Chains A and B, each alone.
Chain A
Amino acid sequence: MKKFEKFTAHYAVLNREDIDTDQIIPARFLKVTTRDGLGKHLFSDWRYHADGSDNESFALNCSEHRHAQILVAGANFGCGSSREHAPWALHDFGIRAVLSTSFGDIFANNALKNGVLPIQVSPEFLAHLLGTDGGTMTIDLEAQTVTRDDGISENFKIESFARYRLLHGIDEFEFLMSQSEAIARYEQINGK
């Protein structure tokens, strides 16, 4: 697994609350049996008109935001369905981090497994970002800081194990597999 390193990138703003995973990727795109190439369906019903043409008023369709690697969104981003296709689509589009005041539990959990960092910021910091039309931002997971190009900065919290394994590129799967003796012992003792 790739280490999550400090990076500076462009951010785009989606000033809406409660963006559910059905908006991030509608269910009709879940009939795939692989996880690649879902970026083209990201926010499909917002990004494209019914005839398939681009909706130019959607933030990620503006030329300066097309290559955004950071998304700033209103509270409760990623609520609803557990579909991991949501972080797969974000990652395939090029998004490496999402900033909001809160996230759907299952989405945040899925995102952390796919190189998309959900960063929980304060309402004040988010309001500041939502008031801009994108910009540049530096994300430092080691220091747990996000810093905008105008110098405004904030510390963020992240679950300690998630931070550790992202910084060191440790695969959670390997960690669980390494618990096999403890699992066997548990099964034996508990008659499972």
Chain B
Amino acid sequence: MVVPESHDTPAVLYIDLHLIHEVTSPQAFDVLRARGLTVHRPDRTVGTMDHSTPTGPRNALGKYAYADTQAESQVNKFAQNCAEFGLEMHALGEKGQGIVHVIGPERGLTQPGKTIVCGDSHTSTHGAFGALAFGIGTTEVGYVLATQCLLQRKPRTMEVRIDGALPRGVTAKDMILAIIRKIGVAGGTGHVIEYTGSAIRNMNMDQRMTVCNMSIEAGARAGMVAPDDVTFAYLHGRHASPKGHAWDEAVNAWRALCSDGDARYDRSISLDASLLEPMVTFGVDPSMGIGISEVVPSHGIPGLQDALAYMGIEPGRPLKGHPIQVAFVGSCTNSRISDIRAAADILKGRRVAEGVRCLVVPGSQQIKQEAESLGLHDVIRAAGAEWREPGCSMCIGMNGDIVPPGQYAISTSNRNFKGRQGPGSRTFLASPEMVAASAVMGVVTDPREVLP
């Protein structure tokens, strides 16, 4: 904190790591140019290309096929901006490229105690490491480029405590969908969520990232988990992690970054993980979810009739067995190696149902390489699914990977908003396990029925 807040002015908060991508930065670079400014700390700024990038293969000439010229020029503009201002940038197809919230942790840039921002609401992902990480708009991207600082008021705090063991076939994705269902899409507004409890402690980093990623879907700009040995083991030896003596010092400092035992939160809720089952959404916001054994509700939710009309769904019936045309495994929520492996384990020896398009999109080049070294791409392709280049892909549909109007997609992404995956698209949010199982069966399927 550079300057603490007062009644008259917010705090001037120092930003330790600024992640940037092609969609929310071009207008910020224009402001820098117009004001004759440089980037204050290029060494604390890292760029990657992810939203508008194609996920199809290069052609014979080594070129990628962009969705349109606008997407291509946005990506090119980003490369020019990063070169002009001297910033580290991981370009399309290069080794370090991938979804911004996947490469930060993967490269060891995301560390406990850091303040991290990015022009993207899913920046909450990085809170899984005990960092304070939140999404900002493009004007603020400009502020951080120019000063490495932001003006911030202190947020309220909320504890989401989850104890108990997740049953077989129930995942971190199901847990966060259950949390959002419980507190609603505005339940965390104005708050930073801390996820606590034995169920969180027993999770690996991929799982904690999935939970923190969707904090914003409950309205919270940031979600965090206290760092522990699981966190340190993940970070050890990564590209930007401290090395040697500095590593020991860092771990000692990071150990102190947990909430006090008698800490009080502005709000607390709790959940029993052992009571959860695989979740799937039926509506047009992430709180409109049900357990796979439940039926679609008929009342008691604002906007329900409108949501069901858009989705073409009948109340009072289960979603299980509902036909799907698209299955998507990917996005900053569920595109890490454990997600790809979970999907591949179910696809192994099976075929994607006729009439279903199944895309598996790894979160980064590194994950793609790791999956291929394990032979997962062969399993995925043998099942008739597409194994693609890394990027945001069908989560936001900016790169041409879209769900056709009226079709049903079951998706591991984070938003089922109207038209999110393409105009007229209808989205069921679920875990990688449920998406893969549904791809094989051609209908929404309880993954526990097909688990190896």
Contacts and interface: CB of A to CB of B under 8 A. Distances in A.
Interface in B408-438: 415, 417-420, 423-424
A20 interface: yes
B52 A31 contact: yes
Given A22-B415, A34-B26, A82-B119, A27 B147 contact: no
Nearest to B52: A31
Nearest to B10: A161
A106 B420 contact: no
Interface string B3-27: 1000111101010100000011011
A45 B423 contact: yes
A110 B185 contact: no
A84 B397 contact: no
B135 A31 contact: no
Q: How large is the interface on B (under 10, 10 to 19, 20 to 34, 35 or more residues)?
A: 35 or more
Interface stretch (A53-61, A123-131, A170-178): A170-178
Nearest to B23: A30
A144 to B, nearest CB: 16
A183 B303 contact: no
B303 A105 contact: no
A105 B192 CA distance: 11
Given A20-B417, A175-B151, A106 B221 contact: yes
Contact of A22 (B40, B137, B420): B420
A176 B12 CA distance: 8
A35 interface: yes
A173 B151 CA distance: 10
Interface stretch (B56-64, B70-78, B200-208, B346-354): B70-78
Contacts of B26: 32-34
The winner among A18, A23, A45, A186 for most chain B CB atoms within 10 A is A18
Given A16-B303, A31-B70, A179 B3 contact: yes
Contacts of A82: 24, 119-121, 135-137
Interface string B381-422: 000000000000000111000000100000000010111100
A82 B19 CA distance: 14
Contacts, number: 171
A114 interface: yes
Nearest to B123: A82
Contact of B186 (A31, A76, A164, A172): A76
B164 interface: no
Given A17-B302, A76-B189, A79-B185, A34 B418 contact: no
A183 B3 CA distance: 9
B320 to A, nearest CB: 26
Given A176-B12, A186-B2, A26 B153 contact: no
A67 interface: no
A50 B26 CA distance: 29
Contact of A110 (B12, B73, B139, B216): B139
B415 A80 contact: yes
A83 interface: yes
B424 A50 contact: yes
A184 to B, nearest CB: 10
Contact of B146 (A79, A159, A177): A177
A182 interface: yes
Given A81-B121, A83-B24, A179 B2 contact: yes
B372 interface: no
Nearest to A161: B9
Contacts of A192: 14, 16
Contacts of A20: 285, 415, 417
A182 B3 contact: yes
B149 interface: yes
A177 B31 CA distance: 13
B85 interface: no
A34 to B, nearest CB: 7
B30 interface: yes
A69 interface: no
B143 interface: yes
B137 A84 contact: yes
Contacts of B134: 106
The winner among A16, A31, A80 for most chain B CB atoms within 10 A is A31
Contacts of A50: 405, 423-424
Contacts of B447: none
A175 B142 CA distance: 13
A179 B398 contact: no
Nearest to A74: B302
The winner among B7, B71, B136 for most chain A CB atoms within 10 A is B136
A174 to B, nearest CB: 10
Contacts of A63: none
Contact of A27 (B16, B30, B420): B420
A79 B77 CA distance: 28
A130 to B, nearest CB: 12
A105 B219 contact: yes
Nearest to A87: B137
Contact of B137 (A45, A75, A109, A182): A109
3 closest A-B pairs (Cβ-Cβ)?
A110-B137, A84-B137, A33-B26
17 contacts: A18-B285, A26-B423, A28-B398, A34-B26, A35-B138, A79-B186, A79-B285, A81-B121, A82-B121, A109-B136, A110-B138, A159-B10, A160-B8, A173-B139, A179-B149, A180-B147, A182-B2
Given A18-B303, A76-B189, A176-B146, 10 more contacts: A18-B285, A31-B68, A32-B74, A50-B405, A76-B219, A84-B119, A105-B219, A106-B134, A109-B140, A177-B147
